[in-house]
């Protein structure tokens, strides 16, 4: 068992060769913020699934079991945090539930951060069969849940047309047993802004996020990782955690946006 105070996370998410989603989005920022990160890749794809050609491999349940067994046999499976994201298979999500049980035996105070990665803007980008596994098995185990609007609506079966609707969805997720619910982005703002909301049993905060005129992939994965890290670093101060998470994200998103604009400008000059 570890005795130092370094936060240690097991992160089970996707890996892509090109670009930044899943573990490629989460691991480095977590390391910069002081976490020791162990990563298991649910898939290894060339690119994220928004590309025309999806090539690569999906981790099989036996392979995941073997990796977990190796960690246990070598007694390096003490974690303060457990973070899960993109996974395509309902079976592997069920397996994640049993991994939580094992990790909690090693550390009963383990914090489980569940990013129920399923889709965005009205569309699923994983098979529909993962929804009931999140809804009925993983969500009730989550200490922190970080859905976007679409995912929160799918899990609860409710629609979010206004702030009141968002609060009803948040309550429904708390009623499933989730301690902290964070809506990473909602359409409740206007043309210029999106709205994020974080809630625990004591308080609920809303944050206005200025929108850049582009679509980003991997920001949801980054959001979940940053929220977990800032929650730890601020001693679970919900307001500060939300502010710090968005400030860090805005810095990265703005930089990416400016670079893309810069590239377009250079291209136009040629
Ligand atoms: N177009 C955008 N402009 C500014 N920030 C964005 C934009 N898209 C995403 N973000 C940032 O990324 C965070 C997560 O985005 P979200 O769309 O919820 O993730 P995903 O849908 O990929 O799960 C938002 O809270 C916001 O801070
Ligand atoms: C392989 C993979 N991993 C993760 C994601 C999740 O990305 P986001 O953070 O934008 O939700 C995607 C999005 N299609 C993906 O294709």
Q: Which helix (H) or strand (E) holds 196?
A: strand 193-199
Q: Hey, whose CA ends up nearest to atom 11 of ligand 2?
A: 220
Check if 91 is active-site: no
pLDDT at 3: 53
d(CA 79, CA 37): 9
Ligand 2 atom nearest the C-alpha of 221 is 9
Q: Identify any residues that bridge with 84 across adjacent strands, giving them in sequence order.
A: 12, 114
pLDDT band at 255 (very low <50, low <70, confident <90, very high): confident
Which tokens sit at 46?
Answer: 């060339």
pLDDT tens-place string over residues 225-244: 999 999 999 999 999 999 99
Q: What is the pTM of this model?
A: 0.95
d(CA 232, CA 251): 20
Q: Which of 15, 22, 152 to mutate to test the pocket of ligand 2 (most atoms within 8 A of CB)?
A: 22
């Amino acid at each position: 068992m570890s005795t130092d105070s370094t936060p240690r996370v097991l992160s089970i998410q996707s890996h892509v060769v090109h670009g930044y989603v899943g573990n490629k989005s989460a691991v480095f920022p977590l390391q910069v913020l002081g976490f020791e990160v162990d990563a298991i890749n649910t898939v290894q794809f060339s690119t994220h699934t928004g590309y025309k050609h999806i090539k690569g491999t999906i981790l099989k349940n036996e392979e995941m079991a073997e990796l977990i067994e190796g960690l246990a046999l070598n007694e390096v499976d003490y974690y303060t945090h457990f973070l899960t994201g993109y996974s395509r298979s309902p079976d592997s999500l069920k397996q994640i539930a049993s991994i939580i049980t094992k990790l909690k035996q090693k550390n009963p105070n383990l914090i489980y951060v569940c990013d129920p990665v399923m889709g965005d803007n009205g569309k699923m980008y994983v098979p529909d069969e993962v929804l009931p596994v999140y809804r009925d098995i993983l969500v009730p185990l989550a200490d922190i849940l970080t859905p976007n609007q679409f995912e929160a609506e799918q899990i609860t079966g409710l629609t979010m047309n206004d702030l009141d609707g968002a609060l009803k969805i948040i309550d429904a997720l708390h009623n499933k047993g989730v301690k902290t619910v964070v809506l990473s982005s909602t359409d409740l703002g206007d043309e210029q802004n999106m709205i994020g909301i974080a809630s625990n049993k004591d308080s609920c905060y809303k944050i206005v996020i200025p929108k850049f005129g582009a679509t980003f992939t991997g920001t949801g994965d980054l959001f979940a990782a940053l929220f977990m890290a800032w929650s730890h670093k601020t001693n679970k101060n919900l307001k500060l955690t939300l502010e710090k998470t968005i400030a860090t994200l805005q810095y990265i998103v703005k930089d990416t946006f400016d670079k893309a604009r810069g590239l377009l400008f250079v291209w136009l000059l040629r």
